A and B are shown apart, each in its own frame.
Chain A
Amino acid sequence: MSEKPKNTEKPKNTEKAEQQRLSVFKTYKLYVGGKFPRSESGRVYEVTDTKGEWLANAPLSSRKDARDAVVAARKAFGGWSGATAYNRGQVLYRVAEMLEGRRDQFVREVAEAEGLSPSKKSDTVKAAAIVDAAIDRWVWYAGWTDKIAQVVGGGNPVAGPYFNLSTPEPTGVVTVLAPQDSPFLGLVSVIAPVIATGNTVIVIASEKSPLPALSLGEVLATSDVPGGVVNILSGRTAEIAAPLAAHQDVNAIDLAGADDVLAKELEVAAADNLKRVVRPQAVDYSVTPGLERLTAFLETKTVWHPTGALGASGSSY
C-alpha cells in the first residue's frame, strides 16, 4: 500500500471538554538495554509545556539507573563496534524509516516540547520542519558509517621497509548530555554521530523537555538498533551526569546540555580516567553538521608490518 498512514490519534493531554472519549495517557519510561524500565528510584517529575501545563510524568532517573545504563552500553559495545559499517548504516537508515512512519506523533510532541501551538498553522509547520530535519539527519549519518574510515583513515608512506595503515575505531561507551533547548533535532544530532561510528551511548534527555527523547526510545527499539546501543535517561541532568562523568567504564562525554558551571565540574570528573570530552558550544542544529562529532569519538589505530622491500620496484632492502 502506498498510502501514507493517517494519524487518527487525538492530541494527547489537550482534549477539550467537548471531546467525548477520554484519551489514554502514556506512561513514559526509560530506555535501557533495549528494555523500557521505570526508574529504579520509583521517582517521577512533572513535565510541562512552556505555559506550565502538565504534559506527563517523566522518570526521574537515579545514579543506579545511570550505572545500569553503562553496563548495558558496555555489553552492547562489542557487537555494535564489531558490526560492519555497511550494517550500521542500514540500521541508522532504518531509524529514519521508522521515524518517518511516526512523523505526526513527533510533530505533536516536538510542538509541545518547544512551546508551539498545535492549532497554529505556522507553528505546526515549524515543528514539522524540525522533525523532518531530524529524520534527514539520521539519513545523513547513515551514509557516513562506511565513509568516515576512508576520509579520516589512511595508508602512510613510511621511509622504510614497512607498510602501515591508520584506521579509525570507536572510542567505546559515550555519555551524552543532550542539548536542553533542542529536545528532538538537537538530541538526534548528538546521538547519531556517536553510534554511526560504532560507539554505544547513554543519553541524558533535555531536563525540561524529555518526552521526545523517551518516545525516540520506542522508535529505536523497533529499528534494528541492538539493545544497549542507545540508552535514554530522563531526570535532573546534573544529578545523572555526575556519576556518569566519574564512571571508570565510560570513555567519553559530550557536554552539549551542560551549562558552564556543570560542564567544568564534569570535565574535572572526566579527567580521572581521561575521558574524551566535547565541551559545550553554540551549535545551530538546523544546518548540516560537520565531522566534529563523528571524529570526537574515534581513536586512530596505526598497524605496522614489514614489507621486506623498499617499494614496488622490487629492490630489496
Chain B
Amino acid sequence: MASTPASTSASAFEYAPAPESRSVVDIAPSYGLFIDGEFTEAADGRVFKTVSPATEEVLSEIAQAGEADVDLAVAAARRAFGTWSALPGSERAKYLFRIARIIQERSRELAVLETLDNGKPIKETRDADLPLVAAHFFYYAGWADKLDHAGFGANPRPLGVAGQVIPWNFPLLMLAWKIAPALATGNTVVLKPAETTPLSALFFADICRQAGLPKGVVNILPGYGDTGAALVGHPDVNKVAFTGSTAVGKAIARQVAGTRKKVTLELGGKGANIVFDDAPIDQAVEGIVSGIFFNQGQVCCAGSRLLVQESIQDELLDSLKRRLATLRLGDPLDKNTDIGAINSAEQLSRITTLVEQGEAEGAERWSPACELPSAGYWFAPTLFTNVTQAHTIARDEIFGPVLSVLTFRTPDEAVAKANNSQYGLSAGIWTEKGSRILAVANKLRAGVVWSNTFNKFDPTSPFGGYKESGFGREGGRHGLEAYLDV
C-alpha cells in the first residue's frame, strides 16, 4: 500500500515510498505460551490469531492461556521466586543490564515487529518505543543493587509473584514498565499481553532466554480478558499491576478487595491541553498534534481535550488545520508515515461510534482530505469544534485520533474545565509566562503535567493518575514502591 499524502493543496514535494524492510524480523507461524522457561501449548489446546491491523494479514497463531496455564505459570513463578529474590541485587542487576543490551541490539527487529502487530508507524516504534524500552531496563537494572538507598528503609523486601496485565497500545513499552521494576526488586512475573498484540512479549521471552534469565522468573501468557481475570484472581499472586481501561481497572479493584494483594492501576484519561494567548503558537500546534495524534491517539495520557483561550482560537485552529493537512496516513512500515492503523476492528468501531455521537450531539466535525487504505483499520485525524463540556466526546475517552476543541477566557476557567473530568492522568500548558505555568500546574488535578511540551516520557519520571485514572506510579524511584513490601 502506498502512503497517501493527506494534503488538500498540491504538495510542493511528493514523498517516495520509504518502507522499512520486513526481512529483519522472522515471525513463526505459531507461538506457544512461555512458562518456566519453555514455550508450550495451552493445556486445552486453544489458539487465536494475531493480525496486522494495517493489512488484516494473519501474522501468527498464538496459544491462548486458560486457567490451567495460569496455575502452571504462577507455580513456576513461585518456584523461581525463592532463588531470584535471594540473589544479590548486583546479580539481578546484571541480568537486567543484559536484557537492556539485547533489546538495543535487536531494536530494529523489535520495532518492525511491533509496527506489524500493532499498526503504529515505524518512526514511532523506532524512535520512541524501543529506545524507551531499553532505557527502562537500564534504569531499573541500576536500582537492583541499591534498594537499601531508595528511601524505603534498609533491606526492603519483594512481594512475591507479580501478575501483570498490559494493553495493546504500547505492547513492549508497557511490558518494560511492568517487568523491569518487578525483576529489579526481586519479584517474579507472570505477564499477560493484550490479545491483539502478543508478539513482542513472546519475542521478549526469547530475549530472556538469550540473557540466561533463570527459568520461571518471567512467564508470558497471551490471552483475552478471561486469562487476565484468572491471573489477577489467582490466590498465589501477591501483586497485581494493570494498565488498561478504567472499566476493567474498577473490575480488578473489586476482584482484589479483601485480599492482601498489592495493586497498581494505570487507567484511562481525557487529558486537557491548555493553550493560553501568549503561547508560542507553532510550538503549541506541534504539541497538540503529538498530544492527540501520536500512536493514532491510542494513548491513555493523550491530550484529547484542547482548551484554547478564546482570543486566539481562530488563529490556532487555522494553524492546526493547516498542520493536520500535512499528516501522512498510510503504511505503518513507511518511514514517512505519521498516522498508522487503528489497532483492531473493535477499537475502530468504538472510535466510529463515539465520533458519530459527537456529531449527533451537535459538535462540528472536521478532517483534512485523507484517503484511507481499503484494507485494514483506519481512521482519519479528526477535530471537533463547538464542543461543550456536556458532550460525550468531551467526557469519554475515545482512544483514537479525535481531538475535541473547547475554549476558555480566564486561567481560572481553564483550570475548572480541565479538572471537570472523572480522569486525572495528564495535562498540558502552553504559555510563555513562567508564573502562569507554575500556578496552573499547581491547580491541575493530574499526575503528569507537560508545560510547553507534550507526551514526553523517561524512566526516571513517575507516571500515573489522580482520580479514576488509577493509583500508583510507574517509573522513577516511585515505581519501586509498587513492588516492595513498604
A and B part of one assembly: yes
Report A233 CB to chain B, min CB distance, Å. Answer: 23
Complex Cα spacing A271 to B453, Å:
33
Complex contact B461–A156 (CB within 8 A): yes
Which listed residue, A158, A267, A301, touches B460 by the CB 8 Å rule? A158
Complex contact B458–A271 (CB within 8 A): no
Interface members, chain A 4-46 (any B CB < 8 Å): none
Pair count A-B, CB < 8 A: 105
Which listed residue, A162, A271, A302, A305, touches B253 by the CB 8 Å rule? A271
Q: Return the CB mask of B238-252 against A: 1 if under 8 Å, else 0.
A: 000000001001110
Complex Cα spacing A159 to B128, Å:
13
Q: Return the CB mask of A300-311 against B: 1 if under 8 Å, else 0.
A: 111111100000
Complex contact A171–B449 (CB within 8 A): no
Complex contact B249–A302 (CB within 8 A): no
Q: Return the CB mask of A260-297 against B: 1 if under 8 Å, else 0.
A: 10011001101111101001000000000010100000
Confirm or deny: A79 has a beta carbon within 8 angstroms of a beta carbon on chain B: no
Query: Nearest CB to that of B438 among chain A residues?
Result: A303
Interface members, chain B 242-275 (any A CB < 8 Å): 246, 249-251, 253-254, 257-258, 260, 265, 267
Confirm or deny: B135 has a beta carbon within 8 angstroms of a beta carbon on chain A: yes
Confirm or deny: B468 has a beta carbon within 8 angstroms of a beta carbon on chain A: yes
Complex Cα spacing A272 to B257, Å:
12
Complex contact A274–B246 (CB within 8 A): yes
Which listed residue, B151, B458, B471, B477, touches A274 by the CB 8 Å rule? B471
Complex contact B468–A263 (CB within 8 A): no
Which listed residue, A267, A274, A301, A302, touches B467 by the CB 8 Å rule? A274
Complex Cα spacing A197 to B249, Å:
26
Complex Cα spacing A303 to B470, Å:
18
Query: Nearest CB to that of A168 among chain B residues?
Result: B478
Q: Return the CB mask of B407-446 against A: 1 if under 8 Å, else 0.
A: 0000000000000001010000000000001000100101
Complex Cα spacing A198 to B462, Å:
21
Complex contact A272–B460 (CB within 8 A): no
Complex Cα spacing A267 to B471, Å:
14
Confirm or deny: A154 has a beta carbon within 8 angstroms of a beta carbon on chain B: yes
Complex contact B470–A274 (CB within 8 A): yes
Contacts of A302 in B (CB 8 A): 447-449, 461-463
Complex contact B151–A305 (CB within 8 A): no
Given contacts A158-B461, A164-B461, A302-B461, contact A272 B258 (CB under 8 A): no
Report A246 CB to chain B, min CB distance, Å. Answer: 12
Confirm or deny: A101 has a beta carbon within 8 angstroms of a beta carbon on chain B: no
Confirm or deny: B452 has a beta carbon within 8 angstroms of a beta carbon on chain A: yes
Contacts of B422 in A (CB 8 A): 273
Complex contact A299–B447 (CB within 8 A): yes
Contacts of A152 in B (CB 8 A): 151, 478
Contacts of B265 in A (CB 8 A): 274
Confirm or deny: B450 has a beta carbon within 8 angstroms of a beta carbon on chain A: yes
Complex Cα spacing A270 to B263, Å:
14
Report A57 CB to chain B, min CB distance, Å. Answer: 34
Confirm or deny: A166 has a beta carbon within 8 angstroms of a beta carbon on chain B: yes
Query: Nearest CB to that of B251 among chain A residues?
Result: A271
Given contacts A274-B253, A300-B462, A302-B461, contact A260 B468 (CB under 8 A): no
Report B96 CB to chain A, min CB distance, Å. Answer: 17
Interface residues of B, count at CB 8 A: 44
Which listed residue, A260, A272, A305, touches B453 by the CB 8 Å rule? A305
Report A276 CB to chain B, min CB distance, Å. Answer: 6
Confirm or deny: B464 has a beta carbon within 8 angstroms of a beta carbon on chain A: yes
Complex contact A251–B467 (CB within 8 A): yes
Range class of the A interface residue count? 35 or more
Given contacts A156-B460, A157-B460, A292-B486, contact A263 B447 (CB under 8 A): no
Complex contact B456–A301 (CB within 8 A): no
Confirm or deny: B328 has a beta carbon within 8 angstroms of a beta carbon on chain A: no
Complex contact B486–A159 (CB within 8 A): no
Which listed residue, B251, B257, B458, touches A156 by the CB 8 Å rule? B458
Confirm or deny: A1 has a beta carbon within 8 angstroms of a beta carbon on chain B: no
Complex contact A272–B250 (CB within 8 A): yes
Complex contact B450–A304 (CB within 8 A): yes
Q: Return the CB mask of B33-77 against A: 1 if under 8 Å, else 0.
A: 000000000000000000000000000000000000000000000
Confirm or deny: B343 has a beta carbon within 8 angstroms of a beta carbon on chain A: no
Report A7 CB to chain B, min CB distance, Å. Answer: 42
Report A306 CB to chain B, min CB distance, Å. Answer: 5
Contacts of B478 in A (CB 8 A): 152, 166, 300
Contacts of A158 in B (CB 8 A): 456, 458, 460-461
Report B413 CB to chain A, min CB distance, Å. Answer: 16
Contacts of B258 in A (CB 8 A): 260, 263-264, 267-268
Report B396 CB to chain A, min CB distance, Å. Answer: 16
Interface members, chain A 152-201 (any B CB < 8 Å): 152, 154, 156-160, 162, 164, 166, 171
Which listed residue, A260, A264, A273, A304, touches B456 by the CB 8 Å rule? A304
Complex contact B471–A276 (CB within 8 A): yes
Complex contact B460–A274 (CB within 8 A): no
Complex Cα spacing A89 to B470, Å:
29
Confirm or deny: A151 has a beta carbon within 8 angstroms of a beta carbon on chain B: yes
Complex contact B453–A304 (CB within 8 A): yes
Report B16 CB to chain A, min CB distance, Å. Answer: 30
Contacts of A274 in B (CB 8 A): 246, 249-250, 253, 265, 267, 467-468, 470-471
Among B153, B424, B468, find the residue whose CB has the most chain A CB atoms closer than 10 A: B468
Report A150 CB to chain B, min CB distance, Å. Answer: 11
Query: With A158-B456, A300-B464, A304-B450 given, can you name 7 additional A-B contacts, CB distance below 8 Å?
Result: A159-B460, A273-B422, A274-B250, A300-B462, A302-B449, A302-B463, A303-B441
Can you offer 19 A-B residue contacts whose CB atoms are under 8 A?
Answer: A151-B151, A157-B460, A159-B460, A251-B467, A264-B258, A267-B258, A271-B257, A274-B265, A279-B260, A300-B478, A301-B441, A301-B448, A302-B447, A302-B462, A303-B441, A303-B449, A304-B450, A304-B451, A304-B453
Q: Which residues of B contact A (CB under 8 A)?
A: 135, 151, 153, 246, 249-251, 253-254, 257-258, 260, 265, 267, 422, 424, 437, 441, 444, 446-453, 456, 458, 460-464, 466-468, 470-471, 473, 476-478, 486
